Amino acid sequence: MSARETDPNITEHLVQVPIGTITLEGNLSIPATPRGVVLFAHGSGSSRHSPRNRFVAQELNRRSVATLLIDLLTPEEEEAVDMQTRYVRFDIDVPLQAERLKGATDWLNQHPETNALVTGYFGASTGAAVALVAAAEYPEAVSAIVSRGGRPDLAEKALRHVQAPTLLLVGEHDAPVIAVNKTALAQLPTTKQLTIVPGATHLFEEPGALEQVAQLAGDWFYDYLNPAARERGYMGVR
């Protein structure tokens, strides 16, 4: 494992995360005194190098939250899935990546620098569906979820089983995604909130939009990445 200093109080590691028969690569960033760790699930066609997710992760790091950005498909799998139609790609991605997100959660709970921290999920686009499915199947391991421009409709069967407090963030000018998030909000049985970011489109590329996402996500994780949640117990992936 190699490491480099991102600033005087945050250390970033390039890590290898073994899950079953494969090994996934990720970037683990740890502040000096982290209050929790957030695992990122990026959308289809993106990667852990997504500048938007990296920006949000850096802002969380500044607020004393550790982050793990990881690619949940191998390069070979990404290439193979890209040969499918986009609809089929989504259908293939979500169950497989949810299993791997759970495996990465186990890895965090065994890693010496993060095994005492509560875990949250940040999912972008289709990655939000991955996060919701994993959280529904693994409720004792996930304390909070934030979705950015998410596709919770791809996790429809899992929504009623989600226990972690969930924040849905959608751009004001992303009408189709607003609609599916409103439907998902009604199905979630947990603490939940849908926030529309003014002036933003799906990718939150407008000036100040991503800063709002980072602020809102940071506030949500500050409230719900509560170390007391650790008392619920940790059993490992079943």
Tell me what the mean pLDDT of segment 187-209 comes to: 95
Distances (CA, A) of 162 to 77, 108, 206, 217: 28, 20, 31, 18
pLDDT category at 52 given cuts 50, 70, 90 is: confident
Contacts of 92 (CB under 8 A, 6+ apart): 81, 84
pLDDT category at 64 given cuts 50, 70, 90 is: very high
What is the pLDDT at residue 80?
66
3-state secondary structure of 238: coil
What is the pLDDT at residue 162?
98
pLDDT in tens, 22-41: 999 999 999 999 999 999 99
Distances (CA, A) of 92 to 72, 79, 192: 12, 13, 27
Contact, 29 vs 61, CB < 8 A? Answer: yes
pTM of the model: 0.89
3-state secondary structure of 92: helix
- Among candidates 121, 28, 25, 37, which has minimal Cα distance to 73? 25
pLDDT category at 208 given cuts 50, 70, 90 is: very high
What is the pLDDT at residue 127?
93
What is the pLDDT at residue 23?
93
pLDDT in tens, 139-173: 999 999 999 999 999 999 999 999 999 999 999 99
pLDDT in tens, 97-108: 999 999 999 999
The architecture (CATH level 2) of 37-224 comes to 3-Layer(aba) Sandwich (3.40)
Tell me what the mean pLDDT of segment 40-47 comes to: 75
Rounded Cα–Cα distance for residues 14 and 2 (Å): 6
Q: Is the pLDDT of residue 78 over 90?
A: no
What is the pLDDT at residue 232?
45
Q: Could you tell me the two tokens for 14? A: 């390039």
Contact, 150 vs 124, CB < 8 A? Answer: yes
pLDDT category at 237 given cuts 50, 70, 90 is: very low
DSSP string, 71-83: -SS-HHHHHHHHT
pLDDT category at 9 given cuts 50, 70, 90 is: confident
Rounded Cα–Cα distance for residues 30 and 9 (Å): 8
**Residue 157: Cβ within 10 Å count:** 10
Q: Is the pLDDT of residue 178 over 70?
A: yes
